[in-house]
Amino acid sequence: MDATARSDLLAALPAAYPIIDAGFLRKSGLEAMAMARLVAGSGIRIAQYRHKGDFDRAAFKEARGVIAELRRAGVCCIVNDRADIAMVTGADGVHVGQEDIPPAEVRRLVGPQLLLGYSTHSPEQAADEQCDWADYVAIGPVFSTSSKQDPDPVVGLGGVAAARRATSKPLVAIGGITLGNCRDVLEAGADSVAAISAVTPGTLAAWAALRR
């Protein structure tokens, strides 16, 4: 992603930010590559590849395939947790959490070219100086979620609003978000809503049409 494209994306972060979670999809009977092809043809403009657990050769091959499929379609592709995988697969960015390498160190590793997202779970974390190194900040879980093991406490719509006041960065909300409640989350102050289980082959068109 060149500097102009990156600037344009951050200036108007797409409202829908689907997460292609390899493990979750496999349990649902769908492979990550199949979902990537569907996302690539849906009109979605940003998506994240998420693989929890050991990153063996098979996982790397899958990640590389997913990223290639998304990039061919002009979808901004982010890799969850792993800056090294983002760099070697040619992804557009990496997203890290509170337990990962701090954003300041990730930025030194990936340089200015890659987008950097950072997960927070409270307004206080959203205001932390580590967020200064990120291009966008995520807040959640907004609602209860079954897509993540040992989720952090729910922040609710009030937490989204408080995080919006705490940071001037583009704000992505995540956790229990569906097509039925996403409008409330956007109105609470999120620029974008990320979803895992609510993103299915049958709902992709509706997610792609979502606007703030």
Catalytic center residues: 50, 119, 148
Beta strand pairing call for 136-139 and 115-120: parallel
13 close to 191: Cβ distance less than 8 angstroms: yes
Alpha helices in the chain (DSSP H): 3-11, 22-27, 32-40, 57-72, 83-89, 103-110, 123-126, 156-166, 182-187, 204-208
Non-local CB neighbours of 135 within 8 Å, separated by 6+ positions: 6, 10, 93, 115, 116, 117, 169, 170
The number of beta carbons lying within 10 Å of the beta carbon of residue 126 is 25
Helix %, strand %, coil % of the chain (to 5): 40, 20, 40
